[in-house]
Amino acid sequence: MVAIIDYGAGNLQSVKKALDFIGAENVITGDKNEIDAASHVILPGVGSFEDAMNCIREHDLENTIKKAADGSKHFLGICLGLQLLFSSSEESPGVKGLGIFDGEIVTIPRDNGLKVPHIGWNSVELKQKDGIFDGIKDNSYFYFVHSYYLKNAPDDIVAGVTEYGVPIQCAVQRGRVCATQFHPEKSGDAGLALLRNFVQMEV
User: Which CATH number do you get for residue 144?
Assistant: 3.40.50.880
Q: Is residue 132 part of a domain?
A: yes
Q: Is residue 165 part of a domain?
A: yes
* Average pLDDT of the residues in 72-93: 98
The residue from 40, 55, 74, 79 that is catalytic is: 79
Q: Is residue 45 part of a domain?
A: yes
Q: Is 185 a catalytic residue?
A: yes
pLDDT above 90 (res 46): no
Mean pLDDT of the chain: 96
Structural domain range at position 64: 2-93+103-200
Q: Is residue 187 part of a domain?
A: yes
The residue from 55, 118, 170, 185 that is catalytic is: 185
Q: Is 59 a catalytic residue?
A: no
User: How many folded domains does the chain comprise?
Assistant: 1
The residue from 40, 74, 146, 183 that is catalytic is: 183
Helix-then-strand count for the chain, H and E: 6, 11
Give the residue from 30, 22, 1 showing the smallest Cα distance to 194.
22
Q: For residue 203, what pLDDT band results from cuts at 50, 70 and 90?
A: low
Q: Is residue 98 part of a domain?
A: no
Cα four-point dihedral sign 121, 125, 130, 136 = positive
Q: Is residue 192 part of a domain?
A: yes
Q: pLDDT tens, 135-172?
A: 999 999 999 999 999 999 999 999 999 999 999 999 99
Q: Is residue 50 part of a domain?
A: yes
Q: Is residue 155 part of a domain?
A: yes
